[in-house]
């Protein structure tokens, strides 16, 4: 990807992540099954967990944009996959009501 796009994605991920940690990002999680999801999960914990995931992804994207090498790209891919996997495990284990 281009460096400009990487920095834009970094900024968006950090802004949305901070909004979710502060509890102001609930509209990012709205969908047609929101009522069912709210009954099953504690949405404050879910927002904070995925806020952390988005901040980690944003930082990894920013570092990957600055350091352009194949090793950095592999590390970036691993970090992003682990962050999302950790977020999903956190949501299923710690956020149930």
Q: pLDDT tens digits, the chain, 97 residues: what are they?
A: 567 888 898 999 999 999 999 988 777 776 777 777 778 888 888 888 889 999 999 999 888 888 888 888 899 999 999 999 999 899 888 887 7
**β-sheet bridge partners, residue 96:** 41
**β-sheet bridge partners, residue 41:** 96
44-71 per-residue burial string, b: 16 or more CB within 10 A, e: under 16: eebbbbbbbbbbbbbbbbbebbeeeeee
* Other residues' Cβ atoms within 10 Å of the Cβ of residue 94: 12
* pTM of the predicted model over 0.85: no
pLDDT at 2: 65
Cβ-proximal residues to 60 (8 Å cutoff; 6+ apart), any chain = 76, 79, 80, 83
């Amino acid at each position: 990807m281009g460096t400009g796009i990487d920095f834009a994605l970094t900024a968006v991920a950090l802004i949305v992540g901070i909004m979710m940690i502060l509890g102001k990002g609930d509209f990012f999680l709205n969908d047609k099954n929101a009522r069912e999801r709210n009954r099953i999960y504690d949405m404050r914990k879910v927002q904070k967990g995925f806020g952390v995931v988005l901040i980690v992804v944003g930082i990894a994207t920013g570092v990957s944009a600055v350091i352009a090498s194949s090793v950095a790209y592999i590390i970036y891919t691993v970090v992003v996959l682990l962050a999302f996997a950790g977020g999903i495990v956190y949501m299923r284990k710690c956020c149930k009501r």
